[in-house]
Amino acid sequence: MRSIAVSLLAVTAIAATPVAEHETLKGFTPESSRAELAWEAKMKAIPEPARMREAMRLLSARPHHVGSPYDKQNAEWIRDQFKSYGWQASIETYDVLFPTPRERLVELVAPTRFVADLDEPAVAGDPTSNQKDEQLPTYNAYSGDGDVTGPLVFVNYGVPADYDELARRGISVKGAIVIAKYGGSWRGIKPKVAAEHGAIGCLIYSDPEDDGYAGGDVFPKGPMRPPQGVQRGSVNDMPTYPGDPATPGIGAVKGARRLALKDIPTLTKIPVLPISYGNAQPLLAALRGSVVPDSWKGGLPITYRFGPGPATVHLKVKSNWDTKTLYNVIARIPGTTEADQWIIRGNHHDAWVNGAEDPISGLVAELEEARALGELLKQGWKPKRTIVYAAWDGEEPGLLGSTEWAEHHADELKRKAVIYINSDTNGRGMLGASGSHTLEHFVNTVAKDIEDPETKLSAWKRNQARRINSGSADDRRDARNREDLRIGALGSGSDYSPFLQHLGIAALNMSYGGEDDGGIYHSIYDDFYWFTHFSDTSFMYGRALAQTMGTAVMRLASAELLPFTFTNLAETAKNYTTELQRLRDTRYDQISETNRSIDEGVYFAVSDPHDPVRAPERRVVPPQFNFAPLLNALDSLTSAAKRYDRAAMSVSSGAMSPQKAATLKSVNQRLVQAERALTSNDGLKGRSWYKHLIYAPGFYTGYGVKTMPAVRESIEQGEWTAVDGEIARVAAALNREATLVSQLAAEISGR
């Protein structure tokens, strides 16, 4: 942890780019660009670190998980804050399935006896860590109920490749309880894959190498995970569908049709519990069998072995399967001339426990943006479009609040939503941005206008420097020569998923971070004491986030032409296609090599007869796939996008005329639908809730994104016969996009 105390004097020196020198903003006329930049400069001066600190102290003062008294109290306070800033604000409720722990037991019953305490102790000096009566015990929400005893097997991160490794050693997890490290995938993948392989229970622990003492001093001396710290979290199968597990695809309003518990497909099939490394060490130390490969070893002072046994574990998990009420805060500033185009911004307010970092660090920035926009309204600012700010409940159990709201209002959102902008946590460091590539250029223009609070460089410049300094050769070339720094694609793990991947609404996710390491994620130690000692202690990066998001929202709300750039999408989609072609070739080479080595007896010859490792399974090599439809669609999209970009430039040259205004009104209405063209009603195979054909969370990675997911996962999983059909579906989506973009280009240029 490298916490730097920033002088408060620096707070007053905001160097917004001088308005007079700024080039005309894309999507604005010279005149409206000047007005916009003047309003943005006013906005950027408003957010105050001291207010964010006080809001965090209040919102994280008590545990505020779904269904807790303080969760509701926070929602009401947030609603009242919005109202006091001059916004319309109300609370929308949904009733959702939210299990809480009733019985939890982890004990080693052989060869020795040890009972895990499953407890995070209070820490002296940390004033909220002792709120035992209100803290949710350590658990994984949506674990199956069960009472099982079996031999223990260590499965590394518990991803599919780890089970291939076990199979080569003749180790089966059938009838066993597996213990997996946190990391390497989203946590819900671990019990899912374990159950697929026949395990009867699953433990997940935080290895000290990943977020404990290997990274620095542990809490409270430092920011890292202490021996008894536990990562809570949901294990509901979100890659199938997020939101209330009982109401897939529809809002969980009063009277909604609900699945019976036994019919819900996304609950884990086996009991699962998260434990600390303090509790995991005696279990792991009692394993025998071969020593694991180096890549599996963690940071505990033990010899890591596979098992199975003789360590035998008794695991018991039972939940209260209750329905709880969610409190989403929804606030609005109605647009003046384009009220039916919505710019939506959100951050969740619920936490696993006190949640100062996750999610309050992002929420306090959102509140300061809202206060700033409210101030501008009083000064006469008139955004064209409607601005909707949300503080979601129930994100932690599985994006419940945002998903239920998005499903409930799906028809209206599909007509009106221009964009959804998300944040979750925030800390010290560089600006991170991911999202729809139609917004890549836009995000770059925003980042160039935001000052990094510590270096006084622009947020964009620091990012560029980092990529030149530590990126690959390709990253370095792009960072130096490409107009825009690349943004990542969105998988899942926060509230953008229902908007982007279910409804096809262009989305962005942004935060600062990377210079404030920590190991308190989803533990009782993620609290005000931790955040104000080890993270963005001055709240200067909280202010930077408010300025970044506020600028993005204002520009989108007032642009004459919505700032989507399709050349960035076309180029990125082209790169994805090249990746997929290479993936096919790499898989061909790997499988051919493995099969050849099997034929040559290589695996038998290198296997240590005293600790034998079998050959991997023989697999069928991939055939050639037909990428032509995709490549043709990309050519169409690329040329349409170029024509569109040229046409869009004309908006920034010359004044507004009544005819130009009428054209832009019509073009904007159709631009709102541009991201929707990339979706398919049928959705992804086996998980039709996910409609977007370019971005999805991986079925076996969880949070990690899979781009062109249906094609990519078919290749990764060796489903060769599915690939050509999936390529054709993506090609059709890109062709729809190309047609729309081409029509819009013609409309703007009056042809």
Residues that bind Zn ion (CB under 5 A): 358-359, 424
Please give the single-letter amino acid code of residue 273: L
Residue 185 has φ and ψ, to the nearest 5°, of -170, 170
Q: Which is nearer to Zn ion, 207 or 424 (CB)?
A: 424
User: What is the distance between the alpha carbons of residues 161 and 337, in angstroms, rounded to a whole number?
Assistant: 54
User: Collapsing DSSP states into helix, strand and coil, what is residue 303?
Assistant: coil
Pairing of strands 507-514, 417-422: parallel
Least Å distance between CB 121 and Zn ion?
24
Q: Which is nearer to Zn ion, 141 or 264 (CB)?
A: 141
Q: Are 566 and 748 within 8 A, CB to CB?
A: no
Q: Which is nearer to Zn ion, 312 or 509 (CB)?
A: 509
Q: Which is nearer to Zn ion, 358 or 726 (CB)?
A: 358
Q: Which is nearer to Zn ion, 381 or 521 (CB)?
A: 521
User: What is the distance between the alpha carbons of residues 751 and 619, in angstroms, rounded to a whole number?
Assistant: 55
Least Å distance between CB 350 and Zn ion?
8
Q: Which is nearer to Zn ion, 425 or 742 (CB)?
A: 425
Least Å distance between CB 375 and Zn ion?
28
Q: What interhelical angle do 628-652 and 720-748 show, nearest 10? A: 20
Q: Which is nearer to Zn ion, 332 or 345 (CB)?
A: 345
Least Å distance between CB 706 and Zn ion?
22
Pairing of strands 201-205, 312-320: unpaired
Nearest of 653, 595, 640 to residue 622 by alpha carbon? 595
Residue 325 CA: distances (Å) to CA of 348, 541, 665: 15, 33, 40
Least Å distance between CB 497 and Zn ion?
13
Least Å distance between CB 513 and Zn ion?
13
User: Collapsing DSSP states into helix, strand and coil, what is residue 154?
Assistant: strand
Q: Which is nearer to Zn ion, 360 or 696 (CB)?
A: 360
Q: If you write DSSP's letter for every residue of 354-408 in order, what string do you get?
A: S-IIIIIHHHHHHHHHHHHHHHHHHTT---SEEEEEEEES--TTTSHHHHHHHHH
Residue 202 has φ and ψ, to the nearest 5°, of -145, 130
Type and span of the H or E element at 432: strand 429-435
User: What is the distance between the alpha carbons of residues 725 and 723, in angstroms, rounded to a whole number?
Assistant: 6
Q: Which is nearer to Zn ion, 358 or 516 (CB)?
A: 358
Least Å distance between CB 347 and Zn ion?
8
Q: Which is nearer to Zn ion, 211 or 424 (CB)?
A: 424
Least Å distance between CB 531 and Zn ion?
13
User: What is the distance between the alpha carbons of residues 337 and 383, in angstroms, rounded to a whole number?
Assistant: 8
Q: Which is nearer to Zn ion, 101 or 394 (CB)?
A: 394
Q: Are 143 and 317 within 8 A, CB to CB?
A: yes
Q: What number of other Cβ atoms are within 10 A of residue 300's Cβ?
A: 20
Least Å distance between CB 385 and Zn ion?
27
User: What is the distance between the alpha carbons of residues 507 and 679, in angstroms, rounded to a whole number?
Assistant: 14
What residues does 695 pair with on adjacent strands? 707
Least Å distance between CB 351 and Zn ion?
8
User: Collapsing DSSP states into helix, strand and coil, what is residue 340?
Assistant: strand
User: Collapsing DSSP states into helix, strand and coil, what is residue 233?
Assistant: strand
Least Å distance between CB 394 and Zn ion?
11
Residue 648 CA: distances (Å) to CA of 23, 564, 571: 15, 10, 18
Nearest of 215, 137, 116, 198 to residue 163 by alpha carbon? 198
Q: Which is nearer to Zn ion, 329 or 373 (CB)?
A: 329
Which positions ≥6 away from 606 have C-beta within 8 Å?
none
Q: Are 105 and 314 within 8 A, CB to CB?
A: yes
Least Å distance between CB 359 and Zn ion?
4
Least Å distance between CB 520 and Zn ion?
13
User: Collapsing DSSP states into helix, strand and coil, what is residue 291?
Assistant: strand
Handedness of CA 293, 296, 302, 307 (dihedral sign): negative
Which positions ≥6 away from 301 have C-beta within 8 Å?
none
Q: Which is nearer to Zn ion, 158 or 397 (CB)?
A: 397
User: What is the distance between the alpha carbons of residues 556 and 559, in angstroms, rounded to a whole number?
Assistant: 6
Least Å distance between CB 391 and Zn ion?
12
Q: Which is nearer to Zn ion, 358 or 536 (CB)?
A: 358
